[in-house]
Amino acid sequence: MSNVGIVIVSHSPLVAEGTADMVRQMVGDEVPLAWCGGNGHGGLGTNVEAIMGAIDRAWSEAGVAILVDLGGAETNSEMAVEMIGEPRSQKIIVCNAPIVEGAVMAATESSGGASLKEVVATAHELSPS
C-alpha cells in the first residue's frame, strides 16, 4: 500500500481496538491500520514486541504514524522503533496527539494520499503547543 500506515498503541486492548473500529468506520480500508494494547500477560500496559508486530502489520513504504495514550505507551513505542532499526525506523513517527482524535485525523489525512510528514502534522495540530 502506498498510503501511510496508522498504528494505535493503548494500555488497554479495548481502547486500542475501539479506536481502530472508529478509524475503519470513518476512513474505510484504504489505510493500513493495526493496533495493540495490554502488557502481553493479560493486564493493562504496553509491550515492545506487540508494538513491533503492529508496525509490521500496518507497514507501508510511505511510512507509519503511531498514536499512543499514556507515557509508557510512548516510551515503549520509541523503543520499538529503535529496535526495528534503520532504514525502516526513519519512516516511523510517534505522534504527540490524543489517541482517538489523532488516529482518526491521521488516517483521514493518509487516506487522501498525504505524506508521512503531512499525516503527522495533522495529528499534532490536535495537541496544545
List residues binding other proteins (CB under 8 A). 39-41, 43-49, 70-72, 75-76, 78-79, 83
Distance between CA 3 and CA 74 in Å, rounded? Answer: 23
CA distances from 101 to 7, 26, 39, 96, 128 (A): 13, 12, 23, 11, 13
Minimum CB–partner distance for residue 52 and other proteins (Å): 9
Distance between CA 61 and CA 43 in Å, rounded? Answer: 33
CA atoms within 13 A on the CB side of 119: 30
- Sheet strands side by side (includes 5-10): 33-37, 5-10, 64-68, 92-94
Minimum CB–partner distance for residue 100 and other proteins (Å): 20
Q: Which is nearer to other proteins, 8 or 73 (CB)?
A: 73
- 11 in catalytic set: yes
Q: Which is nearer to other proteins, 1 or 79 (CB)?
A: 79
Minimum CB–partner distance for residue 63 and other proteins (Å): 22
Q: Which is nearer to other proteins, 21 or 49 (CB)?
A: 49
Exactly one of 11, 31, 37, 38 is catalytic; which is it?
11
Which residues participate in catalysis according to the annotation? 11
